Structure 1
Amino acid sequence: GAGLTSLAQLLIARIVGSTSYGIYSYVLSTTSVLAYLATLGFNVSLLRFVSAYRAQERLDLAHGVIRFAFQRSLAVATLFGLAGAAYIFLSSSSHNRELE
């Protein structure tokens, strides 16, 4: 997987050029940070809660905490996506074909 990712990065850099690849790299790193923030820490807390609820044989509570985490993370990720789309829409110019 890592080799294929590296090969894809080299191919993208060759195809789009240095300026466009810089934009691509910046956007990719920003979305990675936002994706991590959108989890709201539930990726760590679910390990604790689901294990504890499973040990207590309270699968109803495990189901509830998973659903809660999914709904909140999805809401934040959707908000980030809409904010990013609005930013691109409002800040793009007719000169910048990469953003269209």
Structure 2
Amino acid sequence: MKLVVIVLLVISVSILVSAQELGGSRRYCGRHLAQTMAVLCWGIDEMSAEKRNSDMVYEDSGMPELLPADTRKKRGIIDECCLQACTRDVLLSYC
């Protein structure tokens, strides 16, 4: 009986993992998220990436509408694609 339960559990987990891979939903966090966005949005891979605008400083003015759009969207992409799984189409919507 225990063997049957274990086998069913393994099969269920395998089916869930396969379904997630087929649907294309994944979690993208930290460096992996940044690298994926660079490739999707700008075609930049880690080897050819250059620091752009490294000398630009954005002070917190208390007026988020004055900050670059990517700064305003940062929390949304983390909520959508790190805390939860998302598709590449969702990632592309943040480009």
Which TM-score band applies after superposition, normalised by the shorter structure? under 0.3
TM-score by length of 1: 0.26
TM-score between both structures, scaled by the size of structure 2: 0.27
Q: Which has the higher contact order (CA 8 A, sep 6+)?
A: 2
Q: Which has the higher helix share?
A: 1
